[in-house]
Amino acid sequence: MADLDEQFAKAQVDVKKLTTRPSNDDLLTLYATFKQATAGDASGAKKPGRFDMVGRAKYDAWTKLAGVSSDDAKRRYVATAERLLGR
């Protein structure tokens, strides 16, 4: 467990060092898996209004992960980060 938490923490730091901006889909994946890993399901979060397109896209990406465990979300985050970093 601690190993996964360490990988997750390292991936968060490493993603900030990317020299090129990831695609919007990759950014949404990183956001959604981070939120699912740290906050759980989006059921308690308020859905952004229709004029907040960025907030809405982020919320929708997060809600698609409903039911995914924290550990699985961390693994997905790390895998996405590793792919973006070319590892």
**Residue 38's pLDDT band (boundaries 50, 70, 90)?**
very high
**What is the pTM (predicted TM-score) of this model?**
0.91
pLDDT above 90 for 36: yes
Whole-angstrom CA distances from 79 to 12, 16, 29, 43 are 12, 15, 11, 25
**Residue type for 79, please?**
A
**Residue 9's pLDDT band (boundaries 50, 70, 90)?**
very high
Domain 2-84 annotated CATH 1.10.3470.10: no
Where b means 16+ CB within 10 Å and e means fewer, 40-59 reads bebeeeeeeeeeeeeeebbb
pLDDT above 90 for 24: yes
